[in-house]
Structure 1
Amino acid sequence: MSYQVLARRWRPQTFAQMVGQEHVLRALVNALERNRLHHAYLLTGTRGVGKTTLARLIAKCLNCEQGISASPCGECSACREIAEGRFVDLLEIDAASRTKVEDTRDLLENVQYAPARGRFKVYLIDEVHMLSTHSFNALLKTLEEPPPHVKFLLATTDPQKLPATVLSRCLQLHLKNLSPEQISAHLAHVLREEAIDFEDPALWELAVAAEGSMRDALSLTDQAIAHGGGSVATATVTEMLGYIERELLRALVEALLQASADRVLAVVADMAAHGADFERALSELLAVLHRVALAQTVPATLAAMHAERERFAHWAALASAADVQLYYQIGLMCRRDLPYAPDARSGFEMALLRMLAFRPAQPADALSAAAPPSPRATPPRSEPAGQGAVVPPKKSEPAARWPAGVRVAPRPSAPTEPGPAVAPPSAAPGAPSGVPASAAAPVEAPATPAAGAVSAAAVTLASGQADTAPAGRLADVNPGNWHRLLAECELGGMARTVASHCLPQAVEGATLQLLLQQEHEILCQPQCDERIAAALATRFGHAVTVRVRPARVEGETPAARTARIAAERRQHAVAAIEADANVRMLMENFSGKLHRDSITVLEPADTGREEA
């Protein structure tokens, strides 16, 4: 017996064998069980998702000798003949080869005759959008009022080309593209039944390459089996699909996230030596960056990455979320412009170099560029800045990020030791117009907030858990100053995310024990502990050991504090806009309406001043 390809051998014979499409199967099963059958069904969807297969299953359900049922027996002569494609009352018509109106009229002449074998005469018209306008017009009357023994099953990949008069006469069922997870799981089942060795990453590559089509996936699997000599291995699948070698791609991602231009260009040279398709390589790099961004933003997605979970967790900790987002955006733009490059390799290299060139400067770089080098950085409040001095802002200090004119009422909190308040530079009275506020007034000045309101700088001290003085020694670290310590440390990426969801539990010598919120337990990675320890060692000037343990955290973590402050800023920004005299005048005189969702709280510039 001749070999039968996997796509035909594994064509579903019952609804239960269908992969995905639960929404369509539910509608059909309910209609069959309640005998509420439409006379014309329109099945739409991309190639290889099961339109023709589903139409044949409907014909089998209608003509099974055991009766109309959502579970045909598969043993009677009607079921077997439909499965073998030789049932006389199932007329499969390829509309692409019968587009003339004469073909349609010849077809409709036999509609009036009763079925020869089955219960219904079923007309399956594939790629129905290929029919001509005259053919559609000839079909309309019969499609609207067919004889009771006739059912029409129309299938198309392009329903937009069908006339509205045809769409209104059919019950439309749209078949969705299958997800890579569904396809790879089905391929694993098929290969196990076929007793063929395979590797899970290879099946994932095939599933992604199939682009939602199960038939394409099975055809690619047949090709991979032939290419690999009876097995499906990742290396052979990668070579067959024309992808770059996984090791080269991993080395490229590692070098890019570590901002090593020399290593990036060395990997590109290796890729050129292996004859890589640089346009496809850029697409694969974007796919990896997408998954890294998912791991950074929604760490729970790491669980679905199976064998590559640890690798993506490591990559997510190498770079900040802002860097990854920037790389992805630059890659998208360079992918669009790649055809205009002198050659594919130079365009690919320029895309990578552009990612590194536009990478935001790290805090250490920014400080060294703004001020002469000093042996040790000191907290800003320990030494007031004189007139004309430039004070680098703390990036996570909420007080410097409030827009001018927005005041926040204080929240009840435990009383703290009174101390000199630091007024915003822009609040200095008598500052001449056009003169920078930092040069017009000293940094430290008595704060005199209006009654019933406090300045933005006071919000961070009056709300949430009481702040304490910045930690001068590791032994001074506590939940009250943990957020200040993070602001002073050069920490980014997933390590900063982990630290912001923690609170200090205890300090034993040079060991700091942190409690991580239980819902973020998946963030626990040894690399993050090491990066936090390195940042603290730089801050305190001696080696530090950090131990992170998931537990129930009592108190406000830096992440929760940041979210609370952002919510308060937005709340009071909305209140300030609603109270604005000009806004109220426009709403009253012109029947205006304020859309609160359109209000965006602007981030101030990195100058330490409040901006409107």
Structure 2
Amino acid sequence: MDDEHSRDAALFPAEPQEKREARGAYRVLARKYRPSGFADLIGQEPMVRTLENAFQLNRIHQAYLLTGVRGVGKTTTARILARAFNYELPAADGRPAVDRPTIHMDALGVHCQAIIDSRHPDVLEMDAASHTGIDDIREIIENARYRPVMARVKVYIVDEVHMLSKAAFNGLLKTLEEPPEHVKFIFATTEIDKVPVTVRSRCQRFDLRRIDAGLLAGHLRKICDLESVAIEDEALAMVARAAEGSARDALSLLDQAIAHGAAQGGGAIAAEDLRHMLGVADKSRVIDLFEAAMKGDIATALALLQEQHDGGGDPGQVLLELAEFTHLVTRLKLAPGAERSSALTEEERRRGGAAAQTLSVSALTRAFQILMKAVDELRFSPRPLASADMALVRLTHAAEMPSPEEALRKLGFGQPRPPDGARPLAPAPERPAPALSLAPSPQGAARSLAAPRPEASAGVAFADFAALVAFVGEKRDMQLKMALETDVRLVRFEQGRIEFELAPGGSTRLPQQLMQRLQEWTGTRWLVALAPSGGAPTLSEQAATRKQEERSGVESDPLVAAIMARFPGAEIVAVRGREAPETQASGAELAYDDGEPDESW
């Protein structure tokens, strides 16, 4: 074992870090502090626990599929797995030898440094973005037949595997399903939906999660201590939030922040300097902007946005941070435990909690929808600042809008809604519901769109054509049910006999299809015939007529007319009948879409 270790050390000499730095090649933080073992991975505890149990039980899979957003550790995890498969450590200084796969790699083994440096002959990494064809996969298949040169198993790491061609995926399937015992496959991808299901089913899949901002900020603090870099906690929290759960993005931003701080004259890196570097808005000024907008103070809101823009803040980023703070206030209102998050500043906790006490959930959700729509519009706007100004105008006007209950109360109708579990002090005044008259249907036509009746068994009669259509719906033949509702103008309906006129565009095969289905379902022979004319309106036409009559009746109600006059541009989008005594006296309700406020309000 010692001879083998000496031979392997000669083949894979480990170059000291000091020698690499002496050559003048600076190693970025993302590479310098790249995890080399499972203990160094942060935020991926479920995956580490599963792999630890699998290695302890010797239930090691033949292929692994790692997916997640950029920078969460997919390729790093693949290299660590390759180390674990081939971990070998000779006995020395009273330490027992290790010659089996394990995830507990406290010391560098025989093959570890070569695998970490991507220069081991038995651990082959392939970038599928530049090797997409069947010829590249054919080379892997041919080489997989040969045993590894030095290590225990041969490992193929394919990065961005979703970029392989269809032919390449198909060529890999057989080897992937039944690989030689000395071969392991590890795939990494950011777009799991583009990987064929046939490949996914042959792999053990792990979804690497985004790293929590608080956990990421703590990791950055440790690295700053190792690098002897002084930086404010708020600046680290800003970097962690900007990374959006990606460790590599966070380390790249930290590298940039260290260089920016050095250019500013040394000393601790301040959050203000980092804010200018990242182009993000001042968090306190964002909260000021939020408070002004939610109070309806449009002049102050526009002035604060202009101030952020003059200071180098991007209008789209300002609105995005405004939406994030709106989301935070909503969470603080509905889930007060969110204020304990380590990623929040003290000002966010204090002022966000105060806003949560005063603002309603409906106002917060409406504001969030307006802001997110504005952020999307700003991506394509040639005038971002002007578009952001108009978004603030919509937001401040929406903040002043009363809720439907408040609007009714200001108009003098109804009472305030009692709290949950309380009873109203007095019953609401009774007002006659609007008359909704329905014209009688022609002779022989279906009388109503009745609710589905219990499923009929063989030989059971149908009361009318509507009951037959409902029965077809219960049989889950939606295509036939739709045809009966939209294409059948009924002339005559009897038990065992149907005669109808076909609506324009209807299929001439409908009578034969209906006759076959009814005989199959009921066990009774039905006669279905076409008539040249004389049919009543279809069920769909009757339903549309009733809906229009209901709408006309509601529009004539004095209360609805008063509301429509008070809110120009409002539309009636739903009419519902009175279901309980507590509903408003009109017997119908006016529905609003809070997510799309009218531009004229």
TM-score in same-fold range (> 0.5):
yes
1:604 to 1:7, Cα distance in 2 relative to 1, 3 A = farther
- Counterpart selection for 1:290 from 305, 323, 327: 327
Shift of 1:97: 2.1
Deviations 1:486-525 (A, max 9, x none): xxxxxxxxxxxxxxxxxxxxxxxxxxxxxxxxxxxxxxxx
- Counterpart selection for 1:86 from 116, 119, 129: 119
In the alignment, the residues of structure 1 paired with residue 147 and residue 237 of structure 2 have an alpha-carbon distance, to the nearest angstrom, of: 49
Check conservation: 2:210, 2:246, Cα contact below 8 A.
yes
Partner of 2:395: 355
- Counterpart selection for 1:37 from 29, 44, 60: 60
Deviations 1:79-128 (A, max 9, x none): 22222333222111222222233333333333222222211111112222
Partner of 1:183: 216
In the alignment, the residues of structure 1 paired with residue 415 and residue 355 of structure 2 have an alpha-carbon distance, to the nearest angstrom, of: 29
- Counterpart selection for 1:316 from 351, 356, 366: 356
Check conservation: 2:432, 2:586, Cα contact below 8 A.
no
Partner of 1:281: 318
Partner of 1:394: 416
Amino acid at match of 1:233: A
Shift of 1:610: 7.8
1:316 to 1:120, Cα distance in 2 relative to 1, 3 A = same
1:44 to 1:394, Cα distance in 2 relative to 1, 3 A = closer
In the alignment, the residues of structure 1 paired with residue 381 and residue 580 of structure 2 have an alpha-carbon distance, to the nearest angstrom, of: 37
TM-score (norm 1): 0.61
In the alignment, the residues of structure 2 paired with residue 16 and residue 250 of structure 1 have an alpha-carbon distance, to the nearest angstrom, of: 39
Check conservation: 1:393, 1:400, Cα contact below 8 A.
no
Deviations 1:354-392 (A, max 9, x none): 1222234579x9799959xxxxxxxxxxxxxxxxxx577
Check conservation: 1:44, 1:51, Cα contact below 8 A.
yes
Shift of 1:285: 0.8
Check conservation: 2:72, 2:209, Cα contact below 8 A.
yes
In the alignment, the residues of structure 1 paired with residue 213 and residue 36 of structure 2 have an alpha-carbon distance, to the nearest angstrom, of: 23
The runs of 5 or more residues in structure 1 that have no matched partner are 372-389, 403-420, 436-581, 594-598
1:185 to 1:133, Cα distance in 2 relative to 1, 3 A = same
1:334 aligns with 2:367: no
- Counterpart selection for 2:189 from 156, 161, 166: 156
Partner of 1:49: 72
Check conservation: 2:78, 2:186, Cα contact below 8 A.
yes
Partner of 2:305: 268
Partner of 1:131: 164
Check conservation: 1:292, 1:312, Cα contact below 8 A.
yes
Shift of 1:197: 1.6
Check conservation: 1:44, 1:157, Cα contact below 8 A.
yes
In the alignment, the residues of structure 2 paired with residue 197 and residue 600 of structure 1 have an alpha-carbon distance, to the nearest angstrom, of: 67
Partner of 1:193: 226
Amino acid at match of 2:53: N
Partner of 2:289: 252
- Partner SS state of residue 180, structure 2: coil
Deviations 1:122-142 (A, max 9, x none): 111222222233333333332
In the alignment, the residues of structure 2 paired with residue 107 and residue 90 of structure 1 have an alpha-carbon distance, to the nearest angstrom, of: 12
Identity between Structure 1 and Structure 2 (%): 37
Deviations 1:142-172 (A, max 9, x none): 2222222221222222232233332232222
In the alignment, the residues of structure 2 paired with residue 310 and residue 432 of structure 1 have an alpha-carbon distance, to the nearest angstrom, of: 50
1:603 to 1:319, Cα distance in 2 relative to 1, 3 A = farther
In the alignment, the residues of structure 2 paired with residue 209 and residue 264 of structure 1 have an alpha-carbon distance, to the nearest angstrom, of: 24
Check conservation: 1:128, 1:156, Cα contact below 8 A.
yes
- Partner SS state of residue 81, structure 2: helix
Aligned structure 1 segments of 4 or more residues deviating by more than 4 angstroms: 339-342, 360-363, 365-371, 397-402, 431-435, 582-593, 599-612
CA RMSD of superposed structures (Å): 3.7
TM-score (norm 2): 0.62
- Partner SS state of residue 188, structure 2: strand
Deviations 1:192-222 (A, max 9, x none): 2322222222222222222221111111111
In the alignment, the residues of structure 2 paired with residue 391 and residue 399 of structure 1 have an alpha-carbon distance, to the nearest angstrom, of: 22
Shift of 1:319: 3.3
